[in-house]
Chains A and B, each alone.
Chain A
Amino acid sequence: MIAALVLGLIALAVVIGVAWPLVRPASAGDQLDPFTEGQRRRLALREERDLALGALKELEVDHATHHIGDEDYAELVADYRARAAEAIRKLDAEIPPVG
């Protein structure tokens, strides 16, 4: 009997806690913003840029620790610089510079 009562009280508390966000008055921020195609594209470009910048940093360390020869280093650095520049250029084209 007491057990049933305790259970009932717990259930009541739980239902109130869970239902409250649904029954409280609606507010402006209730709608979650969508993830847009443009955001996906820009995010991919930023990722590409950061990947290339990260690679450049890592190449520098690998070169300093003699994991990479001078020739490979020069080629790869040129390659990744180009990639980073390309990504940054595309990003700039996406977002018109502010003011």
Chain B
Amino acid sequence: MSDAAPATPENPKPGIRHVRLVIALAVASLLGTFAVYTAFADSSIPVLGVAQASTGYDGQKVRLEGKVTETSGDAADPHGMRFILQDNEHAATMPVEYHGAVPDAYRVGRAIVIDGTFKNGVFTAIPDTLVTKCPSKYQDKATTSTSSGSS
């Protein structure tokens, strides 16, 4: 800085205008990254209840929520595990085919979340996507947590 007089906000030096421009560009590029990613990357999947899933989502990857009403087979078995999922609010049910890891808390009556596709009346789950919702015993009754395997 050759002159000792400090630049005032009203009369910024050329160098300072330059700084402002670069900062504005940095903010814009962050927002741009964000906007472009959310607009173009197929990053989200619909979360559906059992009743919703059977209408108009054939062949599309969705996340299904519901309560397990009966379960048979073993997910560790080549034939996999089969269970019936019931809508949390309606009576609608859906058969599910699943392979892979079964969370500790899984059992009949438990609310679960699972990813997969619905086709010809059966929901084929993606392996290892079965997640149980927090059991209500250590939660407020009104609040079922979305806690996944990690918490």
Contact with A along B1-42 (1 / 0, CB 8 A): 110101000000000000000000000000000000000000
Tell me the minimal C-beta distance from B33 to chain A in angstroms: 32
Which residues of chain B are within 8 angstroms of A79 by Cβ–Cβ distance? 1, 4
Tell me the minimal C-beta distance from B16 to chain A in angstroms: 15
Say yes or no: A82 contacts B4, CB within 8 Å. yes
Contact with B along A76-87 (1 / 0, CB 8 A): 101100110000
In whole angstroms, how far apart are the Cα atoms of A88 and B2 in the complex?
Answer: 22
Q: Does A33 contact B (CB under 8 A)?
A: no
Residue among B1, B2, B4, B6 with the most chain A CB within 10 A?
Answer: B4
Interface class of chain B by DSSP: loop
In whole angstroms, how far apart are the Cα atoms of A59 and B2 in the complex?
Answer: 17
Which residues of chain B are within 8 angstroms of A78 by Cβ–Cβ distance? 4
Contact residues on A (Cβ < 8 Å of other chain), bracket: under 10
In whole angstroms, how far apart are the Cα atoms of A78 and B4 in the complex?
Answer: 8
Contact with B along A53-79 (1 / 0, CB 8 A): 000000000000000000000011011
Say yes or no: A76 contacts B4, CB within 8 Å. no
Tell me the minimal C-beta distance from B129 to chain A in angstroms: 51
Which residues of chain A are within 8 angstroms of B1 by Cβ–Cβ distance? 75-76, 79
Which residues in window 19-70 of A have CB below 8 A to B? Answer: none
Report which of A75, A82, A83 forms a contact with B2, defined as CB distance below 8 A: A75
Residue among A75, A78, A79 with the most chain B CB within 10 A?
Answer: A79
Which residues of chain A are within 8 angstroms of B4 by Cβ–Cβ distance? 78-79, 82
What are 8 of the A-B contact pairs (CB < 8 Å)?
A: A75-B1, A75-B2, A76-B1, A78-B4, A79-B1, A79-B4, A82-B4, A83-B6
State the 8 A-B residue pairs at the shortest beta-carbon distance, nearest first. A82-B4, A79-B4, A79-B1, A75-B1, A78-B4, A75-B2, A76-B1, A83-B6
Other contacts beyond A75-B2, A79-B1, A79-B4: 5, CB < 8 A: A75-B1, A76-B1, A78-B4, A82-B4, A83-B6
